[in-house]
Structure 1
């Protein structure tokens, strides 16, 4: 990798190199703020496989809406609970995917800020192995 500061031979060169560095740092900071704001604005909806429950989450994973189909009235409570949890997990997976997309539009995947933003959601909604991989 070339050292951009190796050819500094005068105070003017040093000022130009410093201005260039500051411009890059300012852009990286602005991109990080934009990515963070984009993640904070996210919402996601998930449904259970039967379409009985739909759950809407905000960016922190809090439930901000729930809709039940009329099929819920005929369901035993333990089945309704399972349907809700399935919809909640689906919403979490959708939130994680939306966060990845929002962050990747603004930051490099290798950016520590990008990883931190996505990991904050991944901690609440860990990625599950494919169904055929589960025991």
Structure 2
């Protein structure tokens, strides 16, 4: 007879074994739920700042990717509007990259990165700030 180590109920020989296995399962389920809540709360508390390459614009985002702050360097006044827009969008994109990394770190500190809950938490930010596809080399 082989024992399935992933199934806590596989080696039950009587009522006491069943009660112990059920109590263990319940404890692990409660711990996973607490870890998932902690990871979700950690992600919700995140803020991220990104800057453009020239340091002319800094954008601060909250955990949902909304802009909650913008700082402009004085040299931005001398830029043409299309350049200022590009600087802003670059800073916004960089803030999104920072937010995505912070979310991954926060989730992985609390959950198995391969778990559906971990993927869902990270994917919620990844949808707003998709990572570039790796370039294929011939």
TM-score normalised by length of structure 2? 0.92
Cα distance in 1 for partners of 2:42, 2:8 equals 33
**Is 1:123 the equivalent of 2:127?**
yes
Question: SS at 2:75's partner residue?
Answer: helix
The farther-off stretch of 52-61 and 3-12 is 3-12
What is the number of equivalent residue pairs in this alignment? 132
How far does residue 4 in structure 1 lie from its aligned partner after superposition? 2.9
* Residue of structure 1 in register with 2:20 after alignment: 16
* Among 41, 64, 70, the residue aligned to 2:74: 70
How far does residue 129 in structure 1 lie from its aligned partner after superposition? 4.2
Write 1 or 2 for the structure with the bigger share of helix: 1
* Among 10, 13, 34, the residue aligned to 1:30: 34
Mark the runs of 5 or more structure 2 residues left unpaired by the alignment.
Answer: none
Q: Deviation above 2 Å: which 4+ runs of structure 1?
A: 1-4
* Among 96, 100, 105, the residue aligned to 2:104: 100
TM-score normalised by length of structure 1? 0.94
